[in-house]
A = this chain, B = another copy of it.
């Protein structure tokens, strides 16, 4: 089972080292193993969890809710229905964002057309 240095995780996930430390501190990331001199060695599981975190974060989920999801995930398989519910609600939210952006984009394009017509 391979492990990853901080630099590798930064490279792979796109999070800064400070952000990773912050996520660990607040419990969004499970405690990370250390080597003999105290440096972090991330696991495969950390990486895949960080993929999820990136997805949720980039779709606008607040940290508080990601924390809730993290707790459910740690609590065992009986929380899977709750996790499904949480993700479904979030998916709806993402869809709403998309629809909203598409509508606003229409407004912007109109404005551009108007400006073009005035030139």
CB of B55 within 8 A of CB of A118, answer no
Interface: A83 (CB within 8 A): yes
Chain B residues whose C-beta falls within 8 Å of the C-beta of A104 in the assembled complex: 55, 58-59, 94
A13: min CB distance to chain B, Å: 14
Task: Assess the A115–B83 pair: CB atoms within 8 A.
Answer: yes
| Inter-chain contacts of A107 with B (CB < 8 A) | 55
Chain A interface extent, by class = 20 to 34
C-alpha spacing A109/B84, complex, angstroms: 10
Cβ contact within 8 Å between B115 and A91: no
Please encode chain A, from 87 to 119, with 1 for each CB lying within 8 Å of some chain B CB and 0 for all others.
Answer: 110110011011011101101110110011011
Known A88-B112, A101-B98, A112-B87; judge A118-B59 contact (CB<8 A): no
